Amino acid sequence: MRRGTPERHIEELDELPQVEILKTEVLKSIARALESRAEESAGVVDFDHIRGVDFYEEVTKFEIELIKQALMCTKGNQRAAARLLGLKPTTLNSKVKTYNIDLVSWQSEALTV
């Protein structure tokens, strides 16, 4: 089936509810992860008003966690994970490489399921 054909658009419409379900699951998973971090004293940023905090390091950690959660929910499918995160697949792939996120574990889980 070629890109732009009516059949392709119908397939994309059929995927919309699944994407919304996955988005909801990713958000729930992230919320659970953040909640569990908040319960652990080591997981919460210890903000020192004198020393401060490395904002960019904390944002990077959060971004990595978001990407991992999306990949976990999509069983390593980068295109689907990018859709969940509102990123272009090439952007997600670049971030995966930059942060050295291991894709093999999620892909192998997808093969065994």
Give tens-digit pLDDT for 52-103: 888 898 889 889 988 998 998 888 999 999 998 999 999 999 999 999 998 8
Number of residues assigned to the chain: 113
Confidence of residue 105 (pLDDT cuts 50, 70, 90): confident
Burial 60-89 (b: 16+ CB within 10 A, else e): eeeebebbbbbbbbbebbbebbbbbbebee
Mean pLDDT of 28-37: 71
In the prediction, which pLDDT does 73 show?
87
Are 17 and 56 spatial neighbours (Cβ–Cβ below 8 Å)?
no
